[in-house]
Amino acid sequence: MVNLSEPLNGGGCLRLTNPFLTFKKTDIEQSIADRFEHQVNLYSERIAIRYKGKSISYGSLNSLANRIARTLLQARGEGQEPVALLLENGDSIIAAILGVLKSGKIYVPLDSSLPRTRTEFILRDSQAKLVLTNNKNRSLARELADAKIQLINVDELDSSVLMENLDLAISPGALAYVIYTSGSTGQPKGVVETHRNLLHNVMTNTNVLHICAEDRVSLLRSIGAAGAARDALTPLLNGAMVCPFPIKENGLVTLAQWLADEGITIFSSVITVFRHFVVTLSGKEQFDKLRLIYAGGEQVTTKDVELYQKHFSDDCLFVNRLGVSETGTVTYYFIGKETRFADGSVPVGYPAEDTDILLLDEKGEEVGPDCVGEIAVQSRYLSPGYWRNPELTRSVFLPDPEGGDERIYRTGDLGRKLPDGCLVHLGWKDFQVNIRGHRIDVAEVETALLNHPGVKEVAVVGREHWSGEIRLAAVLVPVGNAVLPAVELRKFLKNRLPDYMIPSAFMLLDALPLGPNGKVDRCALLSLDWLPLQQSSKHVAARTELEEFIVGIWEETLGLDVVGVHDGFFDLGGHSLLLAQIVSKLQSAFNVDVPLGDFIEQPTVATLAEIIQTALRVNQDSIASITSVSRPRKLPLSFAQERLWFWIS
């Protein structure tokens, strides 16, 4: 049980004082639809979702969800079955989720930004016979759906369909969703969850974070992630407002102003996004309404806490947490402006209600006090398992050793407990890596690379970058004398894996190092002096003062020694969060807006220089004030000395 008055490392106590309605234990014994409709009765005129400047009330959202549910029942009849959702991260997908749940069916989110092969696999493996989409995604939905799969366009619902509640009897134990995550078999695996378990996690979040009807909660992550589904449902099941922010579309440059303009009270984010976001801040921002930064998804460092303490008010608390798709959030830890950490590690906190945290050794036995063990979660509210994969379910979900109705899930994470029972997360065991909040089994990345005709053997590892982030790198054994440029490998993987699963470093070896047991020695791979593959065949240095200035910013932000004006930003290890940093620096330097759409088409220094030069001409400015970019550090020469990698996440 979370104790909000638990003394922290700094010796103080933190308490949340805002009023809220306690989410009762009895409230989880219903369907999500029932709980939502109760909020509609209480707050019919209150705004439920605010997205891109437009608002939808609880009453209107409920009416739309009812029409979707009735349309589904007309098309498929009653009964549990998966329904795929192909919609962008906004009000439409939230209405579709509620509509699917109201109809008693199971939603399966698809992401149009993912590679086509991955989306096709999820649609095929889930066995969905119907896809809910909208005008924006209709073309792709038609391409994905075969003759046996129906399409329903939520933008073109029959106006004659009734908007009243359906009042279907849906069991709390019924399945609510199947959400796919990275799998150790080389293919994604579908994590399933019930209405009861989702409501239990909403209950915990509500009571721990004091979520109330006055809150406005950010939604940054794709709702295809289990954590994002909870981020969306928790406010809506408490009369609060959920505010999606299209981070892939907008980047991070406008996020600070959006948080202030929308009056966000709870900023929910994986720590990598928070880390990149804070870099864009000037120190002059005012977040008057913000009371909680709800972080997690990967390890939080003391530097992250220092950034929070520097940029946010005394009234805003930072909440670290631990949770995975199979368990929901299981620990919480509150951090204030005066919190300090004597040993340099930031705890993930105390167990949530109805949850026990165990630390197990290799034999499955609990370790002694202050010893390191694998974090295992014991609860009756764990995921039922994996969709259509009972063997995998049995292998990772263990029965209660005392014969009760609880089960144990071994997370694959390592941890230790402080004397007061507070949990410290120490990283990931075996072959799992966490990238920007996404837990990745490197076997899936390795499988994709082995499909390349020039790759004979491969091993993928995660390594801490000089920036503090964990990023992927791949060691390749080529077929014969095959040439494997990094650009070609990334292009090959782009059609098979999400961008966060594409390694940022590639290196060739004649053979993979093996341990005494004949398996790949991954520790030996991490200790190698890395010689990254070339990024492009033709290097063109900066030709103008402006290009030289931009090259300096790229090298500083990407952590590279050399950047050519025709090198692709994403091929060099760039991603949307780093792009936001670069745009913010350039806009500050030149006082111009940088339209990202033009840059994304041809993401090079040369293109960016042309965009800025055009904007400067319009503003009748000059570039005479350009100065060279000084580096805050010296880039070392070898991996033993923390050699630079060409990283991406």
For 290-325, how does the pLDDT look when each residue is reduced to its tens digit (9 = 90+)?
A: 999 998 777 788 888 999 999 999 999 999 999 999
594-618 burial: b if 16+ Cβ within 10 Å, else e: bebeebeeebbbbbbbbbbbebbee
Q: What is the pLDDT of residue 15?
A: 67
User: Residue 222 — very low, low, confident or very high, per pLDDT cuts 50/70/90?
Assistant: confident
Residues 452 and 569 in one domain: no
Residues 119 and 61 in one domain: yes
Q: What is the pLDDT of residue 149?
A: 95
- 3-state SS assignment for residue 275: helix
User: Residue 596 — very low, low, confident or very high, per pLDDT cuts 50/70/90?
Assistant: low
User: CA-to-CA distance for 272 and 647, rounded, in angstroms?
Assistant: 14
For the segment 530-548, the average pLDDT, to the nearest whole number, is 72
- Decide if 355 is inside a domain: no
User: CA-to-CA distance for 212 and 201, rounded, in angstroms?
Assistant: 16
- Decide if 618 is inside a domain: yes
For residue 538, pLDDT beyond 90: no
Cβ contact 209:266 at 8 Å: yes
User: Residue 428 — very low, low, confident or very high, per pLDDT cuts 50/70/90?
Assistant: low
Residues 192 and 78 in one domain: yes
Helical residues (DSSP H) of 195-283, grouped into ranges: 195-209, 226-236, 247-250, 255-261, 271-279
For 91-105, how does the pLDDT look when each residue is reduced to its tens digit (9 = 90+)?
A: 999 999 999 999 999
Residues 525 and 606 in one domain: no
Using DSSP bridges, classify how beta strands 175-181 and 150-153 pair: parallel, antiparallel or unpaired. Answer: unpaired
For residue 487, pLDDT beyond 70: yes
The more confident residue out of 585 and 333 is: 333
**In this structure, which amino acid lies at residue 283?**
G
Q: What is the pLDDT of residue 640?
A: 25
Q: What is the pLDDT of residue 442?
A: 77
- Decide if 239 is inside a domain: no
- Decide if 231 is inside a domain: no
Q: What is the pLDDT of residue 305?
A: 93
Q: What is the pLDDT of residue 559?
A: 74
**Out of 96-100, 172-176, 396-400, 526-530, least confident range:** 526-530
For residue 3, pLDDT beyond 60: no
Instruction: Identify the bridge partners of residue 328 per DSSP, sorted by sequence position.
Output: 324
User: CA-to-CA distance for 97 and 69, rounded, in angstroms?
Assistant: 10
Residues 625 and 493 in one domain: no
Query: At 186, which CATH number?
Result: 3.40.50.12780
Q: What is the pLDDT of residue 644?
A: 23
User: CA-to-CA distance for 95 and 72, rounded, in angstroms?
Assistant: 13
- Decide if 365 is inside a domain: no
Residues 481 and 591 in one domain: no
The more confident residue out of 588 and 543 is: 543
Residues 508 and 627 in one domain: no
The more confident residue out of 481 and 624 is: 481
The more confident residue out of 506 and 77 is: 77
Instruction: Identify the bridge partners of residue 458 per DSSP, sorted by sequence position.
Output: 476
Place of tokens 């060739």: 508
Q: What kind and span of H or E run contains 266?
A: strand 266-268
Residues 549 and 530 in one domain: no
Q: What is the pLDDT of residue 56?
A: 98
For residue 621, pLDDT beyond 70: no
- For a pLDDT cut of 70, what percent of the chain falls above it? 86
Q: What is the pLDDT of residue 525?
A: 78
Tell me 27's DSSP state.
G
Pick the closest to residue 647 from 576, 579, 572 (CA basis).
Answer: 572
- For a pLDDT cut of 90, what percent of the chain falls above it? 48
193-212 burial: b if 16+ Cβ within 10 Å, else e: bbbbbbbbbbbbbbbbbbbb
User: Residue 430 — very low, low, confident or very high, per pLDDT cuts 50/70/90?
Assistant: low
Q: What is the pLDDT of residue 531?
A: 53
Q: What is the pLDDT of residue 628?
A: 46
Q: What is the pTM of this model?
A: 0.78
Q: Which two tokens stand for residue 487?
A: 């650009």
- Among the three residues 481, 500, 534, which one is the final residue of a domain in this structure? 534
Place of tokens 């090259």: 551
- Among the three residues 204, 236, 269, which one is the final residue of a domain in this structure? 204
For the segment 216-237, the average pLDDT, to the nearest whole number, is 90
Segment of 128-137, 400-409, 574-583 carrying the highest mean pLDDT: 128-137
CA distances from 255 to 160, 296, 320, 603, 638 (A): 40, 19, 21, 22, 37
For residue 619, pLDDT beyond 60: yes
Pick the closest to residue 638 from 535, 555, 531 (CA basis).
Answer: 531
For the segment 188-202, the average pLDDT, to the nearest whole number, is 96
Number of neighbours of residue 398 by Cβ within 10 angstroms = 15
Place of tokens 């239990």: 200
Q: What is the pLDDT of residue 593?
A: 77
Residues 467 and 600 in one domain: no
For the chain, what is the domain count? 3
Q: Which two tokens stand for residue 19?
A: 């009023």
Instruction: Identify the bridge partners of residue 433 per DSSP, sorted by sequence position.
Output: 440
User: CA-to-CA distance for 308 and 555, rounded, in angstroms?
Assistant: 26
Q: What is the pLDDT of residue 632?
A: 44
User: Residue 520 — very low, low, confident or very high, per pLDDT cuts 50/70/90?
Assistant: confident
User: CA-to-CA distance for 182 and 38, rounded, in angstroms?
Assistant: 36
User: CA-to-CA distance for 113 and 116, rounded, in angstroms?
Assistant: 9
- Decide if 377 is inside a domain: no
Q: What is the pLDDT of residue 446?
A: 82
For residue 631, pLDDT beyond 50: no
Number of neighbours of residue 180 by Cβ within 10 angstroms = 27
The residue range of the domain holding 588 is 545-640
- Decide if 100 is inside a domain: yes
- Decide if 360 is inside a domain: no
- Among the three residues 534, 567, 599, which one is the final residue of a domain in this structure? 534
Residue 202 phi/psi, 5-degree rounding, is -65, -40
Cβ contact 319:300 at 8 Å: no
Residues 56 and 127 in one domain: yes
User: CA-to-CA distance for 94 and 87, rounded, in angstroms?
Assistant: 9
Burial (Cβ within 10 Å: 0-12, 13-18, ≥19) of residue 369: exposed
The chain-wide mean pLDDT, for the chain, equals 85
Q: What is the pLDDT of residue 103?
A: 98
Residues 126 and 103 in one domain: yes
Q: What is the pLDDT of residue 637?
A: 28
Q: What is the pLDDT of residue 533?
A: 53
User: Residue 648 — very low, low, confident or very high, per pLDDT cuts 50/70/90?
Assistant: very low
Query: At 600, which CATH number?
Result: 1.10.1200.10
Q: What is the pLDDT of residue 104?
A: 98
Instruction: Identify the bridge partners of residue 255 per DSSP, sorted by sequence position.
Output: none
Residues 443 and 571 in one domain: no
Query: At 476, which CATH number?
Result: 3.30.300.30
Tell me 371's DSSP state.
-
For 344-380, how does the pLDDT look when each residue is reduced to its tens digit (9 = 90+)?
A: 789 999 999 999 999 999 888 999 888 889 999 999 9
Residue 601 phi/psi, 5-degree rounding, is -65, -40
